[in-house]
């Protein structure tokens, strides 16, 4: 075990406290209470449950890289007990279920005809997309906390010790590795690799975005998204844990160090930066970028310039999920399973429903007519929305 690993475990508790809004004040610990929800007068949307499906223990209450994945052929999901599911997105009916007998902690991802998951025990497991039967298992150096990614002949894997690996799509054998020194103290989380043509973009825990070649892992460029500031190591956290979001003009990157930036993937230059601290993530829609920040404030930013269009602070300290854009609205879920719909023009709350009573921390996934949410206890829900 490296020095950083026990510190990561320690910081898991610190992160939960931080997100809940706990701060020390002299000899007392003063709680920042989650905002109380207010009734929404005249909701604009009629929200309904299309189906729910249990996927076992889910993440078993721990922060993870598990999230639902919508593809043309199925909705994929997994749990920490090693079960991987392919579901019919319309009905929620199981198409297949695979039992890997592994401690799965990230994914699923789809690369070609493979469904991929990462494990707590430094493995990447590849299953046949058609029926979930096993294909291969590949090795990393530590817990594979980020969902794998890939294209063509290479699967890209990130492990919690800061390393990235390129594995063969054919058999899982290691093709290359990439390593950067990580800070001693980091949040528990990793952003997934983003494949962009012949490049792979990696958001690092040192606040830097790195581009490496897909075929051999050689570095192309590095760009600091956020730099450490403050006196304590906790104040100097700069992790890039949120998913990297591609747009027509670049890649949106959110960091816990206090910056959201639109980066040009060709050379790493920043088109704009906005001082917002986020470990949850970013979504796009209707010409804006939407951010859930570390305090539970939801921001609407102009996608072209990064200028703030609006912010909504009525959900402060409610441990918000990454945002999604669905049915023409911004959607975030919270630590009590509530799902909030915001107007993309001004950020006002226009509708609310509940997808169970447990936290929804994974990114919601939207299709044209359904929103899919996965709670930490393994409840997978599909919601529909219609104008009232």
Residue 351, CA atoms < 13 Å, CB-side half-sphere:
22
pLDDT at 236: 75
Bond into 108 cis (ω within 30): yes
Which range, 164-173, 250-259, 272-281, has the best average confidence (pLDDT)? 164-173
Nearest to 274 by CA among 261, 292, 291, 290: 261
- Residue 292's DSSP bridge partners are 281, 298
Domain residue spans of the chain: 64-188
Here the tokens at position 339 are 């799902």
Beta-carbon contacts of residue 201 (< 8 Å; ≥ 6 apart): 193, 194, 209, 210, 211, 244, 251, 265
Start-to-end C-alpha separation, the chain: 55
Burial track 179-200 (b if 16+ CB lie within 10 A, e otherwise): eeebbebbbbbbbbbbbbeebb
Beta-carbon contacts of residue 290 (< 8 Å; ≥ 6 apart): 282, 283, 284, 298, 299, 300, 301, 323, 325, 330, 344
DSSP sequence for 23-82: EEETTEEEE-PPPPP---SS-SEEEEEEEEEE-TTTTTTS--EE--EE-SS-EEEE-TTS
Q: Could you give the CA distance from residue 371 to residue 354 in angstroms, rounded to a whole number?
A: 12
Q: Could you give the CA distance from residue 47 to residue 222 in angstroms, rounded to a whole number?
A: 44
| SS3 of residue 20 by DSSP | helix
Residue for token digits 């929804």? 360
With respect to CATH, is domain 64-188 assigned 2.40.128.630? yes
pLDDT at 228: 74
The string of pLDDT tens digits covering residues 13-62 is: 444 434 434 333 434 445 689 999 999 999 999 999 999 999 998 888 77
pLDDT at 30: 54
Position 371 confidence tier, pLDDT thresholds 50, 70, 90: very high
| SS3 of residue 133 by DSSP | coil
CB 141 within 8 A of CB 161: yes
CB 159 within 8 A of CB 141: yes
Average of per-residue pLDDT values in the chain:
90
pLDDT at 350: 98
The arithmetic mean of pLDDT across residues 286-314, rounded, is: 96
pTM: 0.90
Q: Are strands 65-66 and 104-111 parallel, antiparallel or unpaired?
A: parallel
């Amino acid at each position: 075990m490296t020095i950083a690993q026990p510190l990561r475990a320690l910081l898991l508790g610190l992160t939960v406290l931080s997100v809940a809004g706990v701060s020390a004040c002299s000899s007392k610990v003063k709680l920042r209470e989650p905002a109380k929800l207010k009734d929404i007068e005249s909701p604009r949307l009629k929200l309904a449950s299309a189906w729910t499906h249990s996927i076992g223990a889910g993440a078993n209450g721990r922060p993870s890289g598990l999230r639902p994945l919508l593809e043309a052929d199925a909705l994929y999901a997994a749990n920490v007990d090693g079960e991987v599911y392919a579901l019919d997105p319309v009905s929620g009916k199981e198409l297949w279920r695979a039992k890997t007998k592994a401690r799965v902690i990230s994914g699923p991802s789809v690369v070609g005809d493979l469904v991929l998951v990462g494990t707590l025990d430094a493995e990447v497991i590849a299953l046949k997309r058609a029926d979930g039967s096993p294909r291969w298992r590949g090795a990393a150096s530590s817990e594979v906390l980020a969902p794998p990614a890939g294209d063509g002949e290479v699967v890209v894997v990130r492990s919690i010790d800061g390393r990235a690996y390129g594995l063969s799509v054919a058999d899982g054998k290691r093709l290359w590795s990439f390593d950067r020194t990580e800070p001693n103290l980091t949040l528990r989380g990793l952003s997934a690799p983003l494949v962009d043509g012949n490049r792979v973009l990696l958001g690092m825990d040192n606040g830097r975005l790195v581009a490496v070649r897909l075929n051999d892992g050689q570095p192309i460029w590095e760009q600091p998204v956020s730099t450490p500031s403050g006196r304590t190591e906790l104040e100097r956290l700069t992790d890039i844990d949120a998913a990297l979001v591609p747009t027509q003009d670049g890649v949106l990157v959110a960091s816990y160090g206090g910056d959201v930036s639109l980066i040009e993937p060709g050379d790493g230059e920043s088109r704009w930066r906005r001082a917002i601290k986020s470990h949850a993530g970013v979504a796009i829609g209707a010409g804006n970028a939407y951010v859930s920040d570390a305090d539970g404030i939801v921001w609407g930013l102009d996608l072209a310039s990064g200028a703030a269009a609006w912010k909504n602070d009525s959900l402060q300290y409610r441990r918000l999920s990454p945002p999604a854009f669905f049915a023409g609205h911004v959607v975030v879920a919270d630590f009590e399973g509530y799902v909030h719909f915001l107007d993309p023009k001004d950020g006002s709350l226009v509708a609310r429903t509940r997808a169970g009573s447990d936290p929804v921390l994974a990114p919601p996934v939207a299709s044209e007519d359904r929103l899919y949410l996965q709670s930490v206890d393994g409840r997978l829900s599909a919601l529909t929305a219609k104008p009232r």
